[in-house]
Structures are given as structure tokens and as C-alpha cells.
Structure 1
Amino acid sequence: MQLSDLLREDSIQLDLASTDKASLFQDALRHLHARGHVTEPETVLHDLEVREKIMSTGIGQGVAIPHAQSEGVPETHLSLWRPKKPVEFAAMDEEPVDLIFMILGPRGIGNEHVKILAKISRLLHGSDFRDRLRKAKTAAEVLETIRDFESN
């Protein structure tokens, strides 16, 4: 399984107007619901908020990977969100984030979430990858960047 197979162009949003974590989650779920990737946005929002209360998914270096298993998601889905301005995310390094990979899946998917998290983390380890994602002007460029780094 490749990240580029899970991530679709319609699930990549660049230059979001969201100004904080709560509005980013709401905007993201509204977008995913309109495209059929989320069936119950309120349920998913609740599950994301519960997960964030356990521990922030802001991993540092301007990156967050919010994730949740939820009854409001029919199948595992990966999306990427890049706000116009970095948003506070209670990240480990206390820096705001501007790259958000969101992993959503149905309850009971087992370790599939963990495998996706591990793949994202490996790619994010290199600053070149993060830099290219930040410079991408289109969703197609984001996918191309991910494919390039997955193939190396």
C-alpha cells in the first residue's frame, strides 16, 4: 500500500482559510462529507477531538497527523490540508502547523492506521519532502511529490 494510492486529488486542499485547529477540522470534514468520504461529519469531529484530548497529533516541524477511527467513515481515507497561515495545534515543539495529514478509518480497522502513520512519518523525516509539500501549488504537485519520495 502506497500513500499515493490512498490520497486523492479531491482530498488535498491548499491555502485553507482555517485559522485554528477546530475550524480546520470542521472545514476538512465538510469538504470530505461533500465528496462522500465521510458519512457523519459530527461523529468524526467528535472522534478527532477525543483523540486530540489524549495527546496532540502535532508532531513538530510544522506537521500534524490527526487520526481517528469512527463510525462516520465508510473506508480508510487519507487527506492533506495546508492552511494559508500556520495554525496552533499544541504540537510537541510548540510551533504552529502548516501541513496536516488526516487519517480516518472505520472502527475496528486494526493496525492499518499504524501502517499509514509509519509511512507518513518516514517520508516526513526528511526536510526536502516537507519543503516540497509546502511549495506545491496544486494537488497534482502534492501527489507527484509523494510519488517521487515513495519511489526512492
Structure 2
Amino acid sequence: MSISEFLAPESVSMGIAAHDKAELMAAMLKLVAGRPQITDMSVVERDVQAREQAMSTGVGKGLALPHAKTQGVSETVAALAVLAKPVPFDAVDGLPVQIVFLVLGIPEAKSQHVKILSRVSRLMNQEAVRRRMLAAKNDDELFAALEDAENHLLDE
């Protein structure tokens, strides 16, 4: 299982502009809005907001990992973005975020959801991976950086 299998070209974005956490969350949700796995966008929005209100998903080192288990999707779907400028996000380390993964899963797939979140965390804990993503010049380079990092991780 790889993170990239849950992404689509239209849900990977380099250089998103957002001024605050609310704008950023709206931009991330917009990246998945047209995906066929989205069955009810209002339910997705509600569940992502509820999860974020329960506890910030700013996990540190400039990474946010908003996620939710929701009935608004038919199967797991994800989005990846690098922001034009870091945005305050109430992260655990107090730093603003610049790399964001959104992960939406069905409630019945708890194990898969946890594995995906764990895999993202493991990849993003590597400074070289974060640097390569931040240096990407376009969406394709960003996606390639993720795929290369995952392939390297699988080789370990």
C-alpha cells in the first residue's frame, strides 16, 4: 500500500496560497471535491472540521495531516499540497505548516486509515523528503518526490 495510490493528479498541488488555517482547509477540500470517491462533500467537510476541532492535525516540522473517517466517501482518498508560504496551524511544535496531506477514509477501514497516517508521518519525519517536496517546481515534481520517497522507504 502506498500513499500515492490514493492521490490523483488533480489532488496534488504545488504553491497553494492560503492566509490562515480556514483558507487552507477549504483549499485542501477543494482538491478532492471532484473525485469520484466523494459521495457527500458536506459530510466530508463536517467530519474534517469536527476532527480538527477535537485536536489540531498540525503534527510538527511544518506538516499538517488533516484527516477523518467519514461516510462522505466510498473509499479512501487523499490530497497533497505544498503551500506558497507557511500558514499558522496550531501545530504541536508551534511552527506554521507548509506541507499538507489530507486523508479521508471510510469508518470501516480503521486499520488502513491508521497505516496511511503512519506512513505519511514516517516519510515526512525525514528532512530530505520534506526538502525535496518544498523544492518541487510543479505538481508533477511534487508527486514524483512522494513516489521516490515511498519507493526508498519500501527498499528499507
TM-score (norm 2): 0.89
Q: Is residue 49 of structure 1 aligned with residue 58 of structure 2?
A: no
Q: Is the 8 A contact 1:20 1:88 kept in 2?
A: yes
Distance 1:66 1:100 in 2: 8
Shift of 1:75: 1.2
Shift of 1:110: 1.9
Residue matched to 2:128 = 128
Distance 1:40 1:13 in 2: 22
Which residues of structure 1 form unaligned runs of 5+? none
Shift of 1:42: 2.2
Distance 1:21 1:76 in 2: 23
Please identify, of 63-72 and 135-144, the stretch whose mean Cα deviation from structure 2 is larger. Answer: 135-144
Could you say which structure has the higher helix fraction? 2
Residue matched to 1:89 = 89
CA deviations over 1:23-74 (Å, ceiling 9, x no partner): 2222222332134342322221211111112211101111011100112112
TM-score (norm 1): 0.91
Aligned residue pairs, count: 152
Q: Is the 8 A contact 1:66 1:103 kept in 2?
A: yes
Residue matched to 2:18 = 18
Task: Give secondary structure in 1 for the equivalent of 2:96.
Answer: coil
Equivalent pairs: percent with the same residue? 38
Alignment RMSD, CA only?
A: 1.5
Which amino acid in the other structure matches residue 89 of structure 2? F
